[in-house]
Structure 1
Amino acid sequence: MASFSISKLAFFTVKCSINRDGHEANRLNIINGIKVNGTSSLSSAPQSDVLTHKEGGSTISVSKNVLINAQEIRQNIPTKKQLVDPFRQGQIVEEGVGYRQTVVIRSYEVGPDKTTTIESILNLLQETALNHVWMSGLLGDGFGATHGMMRNNLIWVVSRMQVQVDHYPIWGEVMEIDTWVGASGKNGMRRDWLLRSQATGLVFARATSTWVMMNQQTRRLSKMPDEVRAEIAPWFVEKQAIPDDCPEKIHKLDSNARYVKSGLKPKRSDLDMNQHVNNVKYVRWMLEGIPDEFLENHQLSDIILEYRRECGISDNVQSLCEPSQVGIITNGVQPSNMISLLNGFSLSSGIIEGKELLQSLNPEPFSYTHLLQAKGESKNEEIVRGKTYWRKKRAMG
């Protein structure tokens, strides 16, 4: 049994049997358009349209038309709208424009406490968004890019994202993720998500994001072409998972930030198909600036990210982190509620001795401001500004 791999060209492996004399193959497990040792299979192609590969005394010729077909067969990207995808456990909802996917929380998506990590949640948001475009029939072979975007050499980049987590799913839990899109200004698109338990309907998390288009060659932001608007506008929904009427402004940190972590270098495994660092990696770098003892006892309840520039493989990244304010963290009670609760009470010695109220109070930072920047010789460039809010860890997500 001889095995020949031409994955750089056709993205598949050819396997065939050759007798000891090196004559014609006994068996050929490959699609039409392949020749072995000059013996043609079911179809032939003009010599100018054929690529050849030699190894071990045998010659394999592959039709260039087959190269395209092989990739399309492997990806099987729909060319028209699909209502159900059994492989991804997904379906079109919201009167034909929204998308719902059922997922099971895997062992590699949870942390030591058996609850889903924020990075895993962000990865699921990205995956369901791409699957939504997949089922729409608009997907080209880019990273979520439509056919019109590919004709204009455009890609999507996220400019802002917010995730609010009420409860963290646990290992083995079945979760439904709904996602939909809407307009954001003249040249942007908004994408929202709702994550809930399939068994109980309990809402785990809500998320919203804003996306703009970038020219893949110049790496500059671009206006939305009319043909792209015509593709995606029929999918727009006027519904918001998180209202953003007055988005919070995130202030820029400087070198005086309390926590600074330098020397963060992207790896090749951190790059996505658009050749820049995946946004989930940014969150990991941001959280590395928070003290370990704080992370051990607290859960992230809200994260806001403002993306300023893309990060490449050659960037030297620095993570800055500053406790935004000192307040009160309780088990599920927000600081504003605690302030109103305390109004009218006198903190007499009796209350203090009883510890019925103050035992739950924990004066620690409940929010942090973050900055990721690319360190340069002459100046530092912002990559992401962020804000995180925290609560005491619960026993089960």
Structure 2
Amino acid sequence: MALFSISPVSDASSVKPGVNVGGLYASANTRRISQRSVTLKILQVRASAQSVPKLNGTRIVVMDGLKCDDIISCSPPPRAFIKEIPDWNMLLAVITSIFLTAEKQKTVLDWKPKRLDMLGDPFGLGRIVNDGLIFRQNFSIRSYEIGADMTVSVETLMNHLQETGINHLKHVGLLGDGFGSTPEMCKRNLIWVVTKMQIVINRYPTWGDVVQVDTWIAASGKNCVRRDWVFKDYGTGEILTKASSCYVTMNKQTRKLSKLPDEVRAELGTYFVDAPHAVDEDTRKLPKLTDSNAAYIQPGLTPSWSDLDVNQHVNNVKYVGWILQSAPQQVMKSHELESMTLEYKKECKWDNVLDSLTSVLQEGMDGFASCGEVECQHLLRLKDGADIMKGRTKWRPKRAY
């Protein structure tokens, strides 16, 4: 068997700043003020033949008694006389203009979008939706995740399954020290292993697409936990991929399967969703493949150190690449994977050597290019004959994306 762990934006409104003079914005409308000189007792405006100072092309008023970067000169205020009382109408106009400008600026700074998700980061770590039962996370398809057909590989899709499953547990506070293990599982030295995986691919995402992944968990019998996923196009809502899986617990030390402890079930039970499988369960029995009835055999497959996960066995996503090692190249060139059912029988360790066997159930008269759908059976086995994984894949003619 192989492990398959299950485990908000600052909008800075782009405000074009005005020129700040003495704490006020120079965008205040002071051009309507008469050009005549006004002599104030407190504020003396010096009008002379010299040019009016400017800051960034905007005329400013030079006031005695203040200093601002040597532009404003300081001098003691003159004695006040009754006949020199300022024109209050003019001052009122200036104050009103400044006040209105400040209010306008405040309105811009306080602007908020009508929709809360307009400025949301679509590539964050996800959030809980549907009354806390479904976890949603978005992914942007990167250039290094696409292959020769300019679409993502099935291995990339499965990696996103694993990532959202673990992030779900982390988001609800159930991620312990292990890789997807809950706190109660960590106390008992238990890890998750996947026993069955089903995937149906309606359309493959391409480079630059944003994919929205919804995932949830449910009970499955006494000792299993089921996890389901639905991949959608973030922009259109089109369903791209659906997947369902079953997990059981295994003791990390003894490497033996364990019953699901009541404490673990209680941890997860709050988040169980009573809903049908995302993918209808394929209950057909997978036939036994041997050297005699397999049409394609790829022997001598060995895992590398990078194929191991934190539980010290080969990650289940690697198995998919191995079964495709023995798939006919003609099918790979003319068809694309539409669906697959995988049954994990035994874990694979670093020092294991495997064989990959494939049998094709349908073939056209002039090869696979003329076929409609092609179905294949797969087997991964150890050199000693023990089955690691059985699988069934269904292929359709390639589409233009």
Instruction: Report the TM-score, using the length of structure 2 for normalisation.
Output: 0.67
- Find the counterpart in structure 2 of residue 142 from structure 1: 178
Secondary structure, aligned partner of 1:235: coil
Is 1:197 aligned to 2:218, yes or no?
A: no
Q: CA deviation at 1:93?
A: 1.2
Is 1:163 aligned to 2:199, yes or no?
A: yes
- Find the counterpart in structure 2 of residue 385 from structure 1: 390
Q: 2:374 aligns with which of 353, 357, 366?
A: 366
* Change in 2 beyond 3 A, CA 1:245/1:265: closer
Contact conserved, 2:123 with 2:138, CA < 8 A, in 1?
no
- Find the counterpart in structure 1 of residue 159 from structure 2: 123
Q: CA deviation at 1:363?
A: 3.5
Answer with 161-170 or 111-120: which moved more: 111-120
- Find the counterpart in structure 1 of residue 116 from structure 2: none
- Structure 1 counterpart of 2:145, one-letter code: E
Q: CA deviation at 1:242?
A: 3.2
Q: CA deviation at 1:104?
A: 0.2
* Change in 2 beyond 3 A, CA 1:244/1:394: closer
* Change in 2 beyond 3 A, CA 1:137/1:311: same
Secondary structure, aligned partner of 1:169: coil
- Structure 2 counterpart of 1:122, one-letter code: M
Q: CA deviation at 1:327?
A: 6.7
* Separation in structure 2 between the aligned mates of residue 115 and residue 361 of structure 1, nearest angstrom: 20
* Separation in structure 2 between the aligned mates of residue 185 and residue 89 of structure 1, nearest angstrom: 31
Q: CA deviation at 1:365?
A: 6.6
* Separation in structure 1 between the aligned mates of residue 158 and residue 307 of structure 2, nearest angstrom: 14
Tell which structure's C-alpha radius of gyration is larger: 2
How big is each residue's C-alpha offset from its partner over 1:256-308, in whole Å with a ceiling of 9 and x where there is no partner?
Answer: 11101101001000000111101111000100101222201110000110000
* Separation in structure 1 between the aligned mates of residue 157 and residue 144 of structure 2, nearest angstrom: 12
Q: CA deviation at 1:238?
A: 1.4
* Separation in structure 1 between the aligned mates of residue 281 and residue 231 of structure 2, nearest angstrom: 22
Q: CA deviation at 1:112?
A: 1.5
Aligned length: 280
Q: CA deviation at 1:170?
A: 0.6
* Change in 2 beyond 3 A, CA 1:216/1:392: same
- Find the counterpart in structure 2 of residue 294 from structure 1: 331
- Structure 2 counterpart of 1:290, one-letter code: A
How big is each residue's C-alpha offset from its partner over 1:14-39, in whole Å with a ceiling of 9 and x where there is no partner?
Answer: xxxxxxxxxxxxxxxxxxxxxxxxxx
Q: CA deviation at 1:140?
A: 0.7
Contact conserved, 1:326 with 1:364, CA < 8 A, in 2?
no
Larger proportion of strand: 1
Secondary structure, aligned partner of 1:321: strand
- Find the counterpart in structure 2 of residue 186 from structure 1: 222
- Find the counterpart in structure 2 of residue 273 from structure 1: 310
Q: CA deviation at 1:109?
A: 0.9
Q: CA deviation at 1:248?
A: 2.2
* Change in 2 beyond 3 A, CA 1:126/1:245: closer
Secondary structure, aligned partner of 1:312: coil
Is 1:283 aligned to 2:323, yes or no?
A: no
How big is each residue's C-alpha offset from its partner over 1:84-140, in whole Å with a ceiling of 9 and x where there is no partner?
Answer: 999734000121021000110011111122111101000000000000011010111
How big is each residue's C-alpha offset from its partner over 1:181-229, in whole Å with a ceiling of 9 and x where there is no partner?
Answer: 0001001000000000011011101000000000001100000111111
Q: CA deviation at 1:310?
A: 0.2
Is 1:227 aligned to 2:263, yes or no?
A: yes
- Find the counterpart in structure 1 of residue 147 from structure 2: 111
Is 1:264 aligned to 2:269, yes or no?
A: no
Secondary structure, aligned partner of 1:148: helix
User: Mapping of 1:1-397 within 5 angstroms?
Assistant: 88-244=124-280, 247-256=283-292, 257-326=294-363, 362-363=370-371, 366-376=374-384, 380-396=385-401
Percentage of matched positions with identical amino acids: 47
Q: CA deviation at 1:241?
A: 4.2
* Separation in structure 2 between the aligned mates of residue 200 and residue 305 of structure 1, nearest angstrom: 30
Q: CA deviation at 1:252?
A: 1.6
Contact conserved, 2:339 with 2:395, CA < 8 A, in 1?
yes
* Separation in structure 2 between the aligned mates of residue 87 and residue 243 of structure 1, nearest angstrom: 26
- Structure 2 counterpart of 1:111, one-letter code: G
Contact conserved, 2:200 with 2:279, CA < 8 A, in 1?
no
Contact conserved, 2:242 with 2:279, CA < 8 A, in 1?
no
* Separation in structure 2 between the aligned mates of residue 85 and residue 187 of structure 1, nearest angstrom: 38
